[in-house]
C-alpha cells in the first residue's frame, strides 16, 4: 500500500510539474510577444525550487551526474528565451556537440575544460549556431549559465550529426571565450563600464561589465541593437521595481523593450550585460590570413603557425607539417585532415 501511495504521489507531482512548465512557457510567450514593457527577472532561490538532478549509470560515458536550475523557458517552446544554470559534478564529461541557435555560457563556479581550454569563474563564451564545441569536462564542480534568446530542443552530437552541418547554407562557425574582468571604481565615477574584448561585432554582439557604487544608478546598453539581452548579477544587489535581487539573479530584456534601469543596493553592484547579435551576424575572430594559417572547417578555429598551439604545448613557429598526425582541433576535436588553408 505504501509503495502504491508513493507511486501515486510521484505521478501527481510529475503531472503538476508538467502543467507548471506549460503554464510558465505560455506566460513567457505572452509576455515576450505581446510587447510586455517589463523585463523578466528570476532569482537563484526561485530557480532552485525547480532544480532537478541527472544521475548516470556506472558505465555511462558522462561518468558523473549533473543538476539543472531552470530560469527561463522550456526546450519544447522556441518562442521564449531560455536560461539555465548547469552544475556538473566533478568528473562529468559531455562530448562534442552543437546547437541550432546562438548561445552564451557564463562560468560562475568550479573549474573545468571546454575543448582543450581551461575555464573558471567569470569566463564568458559565445558560440554561434551550428558551431561544434567540446568536450565539456568538470574538474571541480563546474557551474555555468546557458543563455539563449529563444529556446531550442536539445543538442546534436558531433561528428555523428556532421551531415546536418554540411546542409547549412553559408554557415559561419564562430566561438570565443574571454574572462570578464570588472573594473575598479574611480574617485570621480560611481559607475564604470567596460566591454569584454573580442565579444563584440557590428551586428549587436557585445558583453559589458558594470561596477556600481552603492545606491548609484545608470541604464543598461540599448537592447534594440541586437536580438535580446541578459543582465546577470555577479556581486552586490540590483534594486528593481521595489525588490532587491541578489547574486545570480538573472534578467531578460527583449530587443523591443526600453533600456533596463540599473540601481545598486547598499553593497554596490557588479552586473554582466550580454547582448545577442542579430541573426545575420557573420563575424569571425580576427587573424592574419596567409599560407601559414589553417582553419577548422567545422568550428572555425584557426591554427596560426606563428602562435603555435599553447593548449597542446606546441611552441610558436611550429609549421603545419610538423604537427603530429594525431593532433586534433582544440575547440571541437576534429582531425587534422578537416583543416584547410585560411586565406
C-alpha cell at 177: 571565450
**Can you tell me the distance from the alpha carbon of 114 to that of 137, in angstroms, rounded to the nearest whole number?**
6
- For 193, the enclosing helix (H) or strand (E) is strand 191-200
| Domain map (residue ranges) of the chain | 40-177, 182-275, 293-341
From 2.20.28.10, 2.40.10.10, 2.60.450.10, 3.40.50.720, which CATH number describes the 293-341 domain?
2.20.28.10
**Closest by alpha carbon to 339, among 173, 127, 156?**
173
With beta carbons less than 8 A apart as the criterion, state whether 239 and 264 touch. yes
In tens, the pLDDT along 179-200 reads 999 989 988 899 999 999 999 9
With beta carbons less than 8 A apart as the criterion, state whether 273 and 221 touch. yes
**Can you tell me the distance from the alpha carbon of 189 to that of 264, in angstroms, rounded to the nearest whole number?**
14
**Can you tell me the distance from the alpha carbon of 342 to that of 320, in angstroms, rounded to the nearest whole number?**
12
Neighbours of 138 (CB within 10 A): 26
Q: What angle do CA 333, 301, 123 make, to 5 degrees?
A: 85
- Spatial neighbors of 11 by CB under 8 A, at least 6 apart, are none
pTM (2 d.p.): 0.85
Per-residue pLDDT of the chain (343 residues; tens, 9 = 90+): 444 444 444 444 444 344 444 444 444 444 444 444 457 999 999 999 999 998 877 666 668 899 999 999 877 777 789 999 999 999 999 999 999 999 999 999 999 999 999 999 999 999 999 999 999 999 999 999 999 999 888 899 998 898 999 999 989 899 999 999 998 998 889 999 999 999 998 899 999 999 999 999 999 999 999 999 999 999 999 999 999 999 999 999 999 999 999 999 999 999 999 999 987 555 554 445 555 799 999 999 999 999 999 889 999 999 999 999 999 999 999 999 999 988 7
Neighbours of 61 (CB within 10 A): 10
| Residue ranges in 36-194 assigned as alpha helix (H) | 44-48, 162-167
From 2.60.120.10, 3.90.1150.10, 3.40.50.1460, 2.40.40.20, which CATH number describes the 182-275 domain?
2.60.120.10
| Identical topology for domains 40-177 and 293-341 | no
Collapse the DSSP code of 224 into the 3-class scheme (helix H, G, I; strand E, B; otherwise coil) and give the result: helix
**For cell 609549421, what's the residue?**
319
Computed on alpha carbons and rounded to an integer, the radius of gyration of the chain in Å comes to 21
Q: Which CATH number is associated with domain 40-177?
A: 2.60.120.10
Q: What angle do CA 102, 104, 107 make, to 5 degrees?
A: 155
**Can you tell me the distance from the alpha carbon of 194 to that of 198, in angstroms, rounded to the nearest whole number?**
12
In tens, the pLDDT along 263-272 reads 999 999 999 9
Amino acid at each position: 500500500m505504501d509503495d502504491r501511495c508513493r507511486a501515486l504521489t510521484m505521478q501527481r507531482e510529475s503531472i503538476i510539474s508538467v502543467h507548471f512548465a506549460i503554464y510558465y512557457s505560455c506566460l513567457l510567450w505572452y509576455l515576450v510577444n505581446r510587447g510586455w514593457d517589463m523585463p523578466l527577472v528570476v532569482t537563484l532561490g526561485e530557480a532552485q525550487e525547480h532544480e532537478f538532478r541527472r544521475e548516470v549509470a556506472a558505465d555511462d560515458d558522462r561518468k558523473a551526474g549533473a543538476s539543472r536550475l531552470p530560469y527561463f523557458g522550456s526546450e519544447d517552446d522556441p518562442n521564449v528565451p531560455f536560461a539555465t544554470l548547469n552544475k556538473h559534478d566533478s568528473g562529468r564529461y559531455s562530448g562534442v556537440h552543437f546547437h541550432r541557435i546562438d548561445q552564451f555560457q557564463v562560468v560562475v563556479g568550479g573549474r573545468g575544460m571546454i575543448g582543450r581550454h581551461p575555464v573558471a569563474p567569470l569566463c564568458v563564451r559565445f558560440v554561434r549556431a551550428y558551431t561544434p564545441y567540446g568536450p565539456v569536462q568538470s574538474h571541480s564542480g563546474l557551474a555555468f549559465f546557458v543563455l539563449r534568446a529563444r529556446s531550442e530542443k536539445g543538442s546534436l552530437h558531433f561528428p555523428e550529426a556532421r551531415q546536418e552541418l554540411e546542409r547549412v547554407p553559408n554557415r559561419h562557425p564562430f566561438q570565443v571565450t574571454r574572462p570578464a574582468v570588472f573594473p575598479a571604481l574611480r574617485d570621480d565615477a560611481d559607475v564604470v563600464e567596460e566591454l569584454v574584448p573580442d565579444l563584440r561585432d557590428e551586428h549587436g554582439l557585445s558583453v559589458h561589465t558594470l561596477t556600481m557604487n552603492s545606491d548609484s544608478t545608470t541604464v543598461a546598453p540599448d537592447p534594440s541593437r541586437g536580438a535580446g539581452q541578459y543582465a546577470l548579477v555577479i556581486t552586490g544587489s540590483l534594486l528593481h521595481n521595489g525588490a532587491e535581487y541578489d547574486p545570480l539573479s538573472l534578467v531578460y530584456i527583449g530587443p523591443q523593450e526600453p533600456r533596463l534601469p540599473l540601481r545598486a543596493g547598499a553593497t554596490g553592484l557588479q552586473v554582466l550585460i550580454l547582448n545577442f547579435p542579430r541573426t545575420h551576424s557573420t563575424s569571425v575572430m580576427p587573424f592574419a590570413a596567409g599560407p601559414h594559417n589553417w582553419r577548422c572547417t567545422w568550428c572555425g578555429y584557426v591554427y596560426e603557425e606563428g602562435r603555435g598551439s599553447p593548449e597542446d604545448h606546441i611552441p610558436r613557429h611550429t609549421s603545419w607539417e610538423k604537427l603530429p598526425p594525431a593532433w586534433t582541433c582544440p575547440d571541437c576535436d576534429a582531425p587534422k585532415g578537416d583543416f584547410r588553408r585560411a586565406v
